[in-house]
């Protein structure tokens, strides 16, 4: 079901906007005029992703710098590890686990951004 989420003009290119639709907290992202919708809470520690940075299609969490692909919600990298005693962090460390984000189809039409929620 398509739900109007925002006006296109409310989200500048490279910008983000948090919205709540049908009880779901979502971040709308504008990458070069194409809009994407992903879950608002980081897949690592629940930080509010609209407070992070959007560089191209990569969304970086403001808290521990985990990164996500806004096109799919895929987790691209886990959080930056605390400085370990050795030079290399153990990728199997449970503190570095990051799940991907839910992502929803988006349609921009008539100056509005619509998210397709089940």
Domain boundaries, the chain: 2-80+94-116
For 94-115, the DSSP string reads GGG--PPPPEE-EEEETTEEEE
Q: Is the pLDDT of residue 88 over 60?
A: no
- Better-predicted residue by pLDDT, 68 or 84: 68
Q: Is the pLDDT of residue 90 over 80?
A: no
| Residue 112 C-alpha from the chain's centroid | 20
Q: CA 34, CA 101: separation in Å to the nearest integer? A: 18
Reported as a single tens digit per residue, the pLDDT across 25-39 is: 999 999 999 999 999
User: What superfamily would CATH give domain 2-80+94-116?
Assistant: Rieske [2Fe-2S] iron-sulphur domain (2.102.10.10)
Please give the pLDDT value at position 92. 55
The average pLDDT across 56-82 equals 89
Instruction: Quote the pTM value.
Output: 0.85
Q: CA 63, CA 66: separation in Å to the nearest integer? A: 8
């Amino acid at each position: 079901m398509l739900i109007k989420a925002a006006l296109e003009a409310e989200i500048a290119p490279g910008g983000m906007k948090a919205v709540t639709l049908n009880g779901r907290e979502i971040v709308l992202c504008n990458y070069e005029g194409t809009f994407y919708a992903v879950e608002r809470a980081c897949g690592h520690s629940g930080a509010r992703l609209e407070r992070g940075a959007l560089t191209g299609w990569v969304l970086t969490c403001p808290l521990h710098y985990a990164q996500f692909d806004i096109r799919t919600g895929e987790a691209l990298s886990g959080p930056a590890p605390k400085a370990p005693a050795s030079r290399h962090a153990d990728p199997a460390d449970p503190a570095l686990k990051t799940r991907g984000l839910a992502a929803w189809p988006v349609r921009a039409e008539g100056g509005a951004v619509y998210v397709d929620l089940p």
